[in-house]
Homo-oligomer: A and B are copies of this chain.
């Protein structure tokens, strides 16, 4: 089912890559880009990511039958406000936010209820790069997209969003808002906190220049995610504060226990933890490589 007009609010890596993926398979008529940076929008236009642009959300969504909101979580509410009253009758709205309860709360705050045609979503994909120039059509190939419809969400809206992502080569899964936020807190938000926290802690040590000098190869991979966008991650933390703060506190407790285990020299327990972790990680990598998780 072809999309007549797609409005992409926020033409960065996530929004731009959706547009490029849909264009590549001729699954969209026209793509209208919208954002605050004219420079980025000009670049998106020049690169063929979008067909035209506006910095006005209301104008962008006019007559769009699909609206994709790919802005930082902290900007979600004002985007909803700007589109209220300007959506086409057949419009379906979805988003790319990394936490879902906050998007639902923002929609409820703006629209009074969560609109039947809003399908909260989250493509599990990304790179460290930002902006329209980073967008590429293959970003979502064989990646998972999670949709978290509410009981009041229209089935037809869910199906239209599902078809859109499938056209990009993604595998679509449905789950509840709460479950999404817990799973992502564990697999994405918590690791980011550890990487940011570790690099910050080392950078505050008094011989920090020297310390980084002796970091071995593994350190670079381990801390890669600490180079992520700080504003985006502040927003994710605030948006998923409940699930994330609980999980981080529990993990801190476990690390404190592990410190005790090391201090008292309990080698058997250490070996047990490390072996279980290595097995789980090796299984995960095997499954990734065999494509069964993708």
Interface flag for A108 (CB, 8 Å): no
**A221 contact set on B, CB distance < 8 A:** 221-222, 224-225
Is B211's CB under 8 angstroms from A187's CB?
A: yes
Is B200's CB under 8 angstroms from A273's CB?
A: yes
Interface flag for A256 (CB, 8 Å): yes
Bound state CA distance, A124 and B231, in angstroms? 34
Bound state CA distance, A193 and B281, in angstroms? 14
Interface flag for A75 (CB, 8 Å): no
Q: A214-B124, A218-B191, A252-B259 are in contact. Are A205 and B186 (CB under 8 A)?
A: yes
Query: Which of B198, B229, B277 sits near A199, CB closer than 8 Å?
Result: B277
Is B186's CB under 8 angstroms from A278's CB?
A: no
Interface flag for A84 (CB, 8 Å): no
Q: Determine how many copies of this chain the complex contains.
A: 2
Is A278's CB under 8 angstroms from B226's CB?
A: yes
Q: A255-B248, A259-B249, A265-B238 are in contact. Are A230 and B198 (CB under 8 A)?
A: no
Interface flag for A275 (CB, 8 Å): yes
Interface flag for A196 (CB, 8 Å): yes
Is B238's CB under 8 angstroms from A259's CB?
A: no
Is B193's CB under 8 angstroms from A227's CB?
A: no
Is A222's CB under 8 angstroms from B219's CB?
A: no
Bound state CA distance, A124 and B127, in angstroms? 29
Bound state CA distance, A262 and B192, in angstroms? 13
Is A263's CB under 8 angstroms from B277's CB?
A: no
Kindly report which residue of chain B lies nearest to residue A124, judged by CB atoms. Answer: B216
Kindly report which residue of chain B lies nearest to residue A274, judged by CB atoms. Answer: B230
Is A188's CB under 8 angstroms from B126's CB?
A: no
Interface flag for A251 (CB, 8 Å): yes
Q: A245-B260, A281-B227 are in contact. Are A216 and B187 (CB under 8 A)?
A: yes
Is B203's CB under 8 angstroms from A187's CB?
A: no
**A222 contact set on B, CB distance < 8 A:** 191, 194-195, 221-222, 224-225
Interface flag for A190 (CB, 8 Å): yes
Kindly report which residue of chain B lies nearest to residue A240, judged by CB atoms. Answer: B262
